[in-house]
């Protein structure tokens, strides 16, 4: 029997009795189970981070905090994501994808429970940071545990399909915030908002105990026996195929201890820039607009904080802003669905460039609202933000995440994807902290102009450092990341 890599076995196509091959490798129950658990992690990220926009006015009033402290609250979870992505996500290269996939959910549940009971500003910020720590670990780990366990031909659809649940979580976060405020219109409502995620998070944590370790990671470590055992569990089917396995360690992923410096050597530097810089740029807009959409809407609709005279006014304004935010955020889901359908056909790079340009257009349209009033102002704000949300999830928000988990060799994939996510969250943290200050200082118009410029820069950087991964197996990308750079491959690697 000829020895094959794990990915070649995953990509292998079954054959009918007349010799006809199926068009793609059917997913096993284990592969779908891994996918669902990874999708749940992305849901919690969108749910927690974007719910902060609805909860923030209540938190600000209860704790009596300033504009700067508002920024700290908004940035706490994002700073946690930054630290978690590089500190914990990179550990999956040492300890395995499954262990960190499980550890992140245990951390998430612990801090989520503590958040609902905290009674001081310091404890509040600490709990939000802890949640971010867990979510940061999930950025590289969830992507890798999907991409290293699924067929190359559908990798983009599957990874982005799971990523879609970040947008679903964002919509659910604003929707739950609205419902909680409707049934419990008091300052403590924000605790119930976060508490609604606790039971589902515990269920997901238990489920992660029962998945198999990534056989690709085990093979890259040189652990042939465990890799073969994990591959058999991953590819368990009825009827069974392949019936027998003889694994070969890919020469491009030879065993060895990964080092951080490998991200910046001549071989991987281009991948590091492509994975990190555009993601940083897109996070400037995505998190700034996403978190503070309720605040911007409340101000634009004539319900700024200066007009609030009582707690009931505050809650009424928050409910109104949550409604508008939920409508706008729904375009995130539409955008990511288009990304799922097109990423394996059009290509990651083209969609990312097109998406950045579309984001700039949407933000520019929203900026025009500052010259209008009444119904025209509301129309321009909604049109601009909805276009932005659609284009960011069609392009940079989806494709940066997808590319970061594909362009690095298996040995340093966790470290590389973790670094990219952490670097991106520097932009998210800066935006979340500075956004309320800048909003009050320079106004909405200049803030949006700045984000228009950064979006166009993101399109340029993507094209300048492009590495197209669409349709190529992880083995092929590891062998030659610059092969067919900027062009779609002619065919998927045969099994």
Kindly list the domain boundaries of the chain, sorted by start residue: 28-237+260-471
pTM: 0.79
The mean pLDDT value for 424-440 works out to 75
Contact 208, 200 (CB under 8 A): no
The mean pLDDT value for 17-37 works out to 84
Phi and psi at residue 487, to the nearest 5°: -125, 150
Residues with Cβ within 8 Å of 333's Cβ and at least 6 positions away in sequence, in order, are 164, 167, 168, 171, 393
Q: What share of the chain is helix, strand, coil (3-state, %, to 5)?
A: 75, 0, 25
Name the burial class of residue 327, with classes exposed (0-12), middle (13-18) and buried (19+) by CB atoms within 10 angstroms of its CB: middle
Q: Give residue 298's pLDDT.
A: 57
Where residue 490 falls among pLDDT bands split at 50, 70, 90?
A: very low
Q: Give residue 309's pLDDT.
A: 46
Q: Give residue 495's pLDDT.
A: 31
Helix, strand or coil for residue 261?
helix
- Fold that domain 28-237+260-471 belongs to in CATH: Growth Hormone; Chain: A; (1.20.1250)
Helix axes 311-342, 155-183, angle to 10 degrees: 170
Lowest-confidence range among 21-25, 177-181, 397-401? 21-25
Q: Give residue 360's pLDDT.
A: 94
The mean pLDDT value for 162-169 works out to 85
Residue linked to tokens 């971010």: 132
Residues with Cβ within 8 Å of 145's Cβ and at least 6 positions away in sequence, in order, are 34, 38, 97, 98, 101, 211, 214
Where residue 123 falls among pLDDT bands split at 50, 70, 90?
A: very high
Most confident of 108-112, 185-189, 433-437: 108-112
Q: pLDDT per residue over 239-273, tens digit each?
A: 777 778 788 755 554 445 667 788 998 889 999 99
Q: pLDDT per residue over 368-391, tens digit each?
A: 887 877 778 778 877 888 888 889
Q: pLDDT per residue over 261-315, tens digit each?
A: 889 988 899 999 999 999 999 988 776 666 556 555 555 555 444 444 444 545 5
């Amino acid at each position: 029997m000829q020895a094959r890599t794990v990915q070649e076995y995953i990509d292998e196509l079954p054959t009918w009795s007349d010799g006809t091959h199926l068009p793609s490798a059917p997913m096993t129950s284990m592969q779908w189970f891994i996918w669902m658990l990874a999708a749940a992690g992305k849901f919690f990220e969108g749910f927690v981070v974007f719910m902060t926009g609805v909860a923030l006015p209540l938190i600000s009033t209860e704790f009596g905090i300033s504009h700067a402290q508002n920024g700290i609250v908004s940035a706490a979870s994002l700073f946690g994501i930054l630290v978690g992505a590089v500190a914990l996500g990179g550990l999956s290269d040492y300890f395995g994808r499954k262990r960190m996939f499980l550890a992140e959910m245990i951390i998430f549940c612990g801090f989520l429970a503590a958040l609902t009971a905290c009674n001081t500003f310091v404890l509040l910020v600490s709990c939000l940071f802890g949640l971010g720590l867990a979510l940061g670990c999930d950025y590289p780990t969830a992507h890798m545990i999907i991409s290293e366990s699924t067929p190359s031909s559908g990798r983009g659809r599957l990874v982005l399909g799971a990523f879609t649940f970040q947008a679903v979580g964002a919509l659910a976060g604003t929707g739950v915030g609205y419902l909680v405020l409707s049934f419990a219109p008091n300052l403590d409502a924000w605790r119930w908002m976060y508490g609604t995620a606790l039971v589902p998070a515990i269920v997901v944590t238990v489920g992660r105990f029962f998945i198999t370790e990534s056989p690709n990671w085990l093979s890259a470590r040189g652990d042939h026996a465990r890799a073969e055992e994990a591959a058999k569990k991953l590819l368990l089917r009825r009827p069974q195929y392949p019936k027998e396995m003889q694994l070969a360690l890919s020469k491009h992923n030879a065993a060895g201890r990964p080092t951080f410096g490998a991200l910046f050597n001549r071989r991987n530097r281009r991948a590091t820039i492509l994975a990190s810089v555009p993601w940083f740029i897109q996070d400037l807009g995505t998190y700034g607009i996403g978190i503070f959409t309720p605040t911007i809407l409340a101000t634009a609709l004539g319900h700024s904080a200066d007009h609030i005279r009582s707690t009931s006014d505050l809650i009424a304004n928050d409910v109104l802003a949550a409604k508008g935010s939920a409508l706008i955020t729904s375009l995130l889901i539409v955008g990511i669905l288009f990304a799922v359908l097109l990423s394996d056909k059009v290509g990651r790079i083209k969609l990312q460039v097109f998406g950045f340009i579309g984001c700039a257009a949407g933000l520019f349209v929203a900026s025009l609202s500052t010259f209008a009033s009444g119904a025209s102002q509301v129309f321009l704000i909604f049109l601009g933000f909805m276009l932005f949300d659609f284009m960011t999830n069609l392009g940079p928000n989806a494709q940066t995440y997808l590319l970061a988990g594909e362009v690095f060799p298996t040995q340093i994939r966790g470290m590389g994807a973790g670094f990219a996510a952490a670097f991106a969250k520097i932009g998210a943290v800066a935006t979340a902290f500075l956004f309320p200050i800048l909003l009050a200082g320079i106004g909405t118009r200049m803030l949006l102009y700045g984000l228009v410029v950064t979006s166009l820069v993101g399109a340029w950087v993507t094209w300048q450092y492009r590495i197209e991964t669409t349709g190529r197996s992880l083995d092929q990308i590891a062998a030659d990341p610059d092969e067919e750079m900027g062009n779609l491959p002619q065919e998927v690697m045969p099994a």
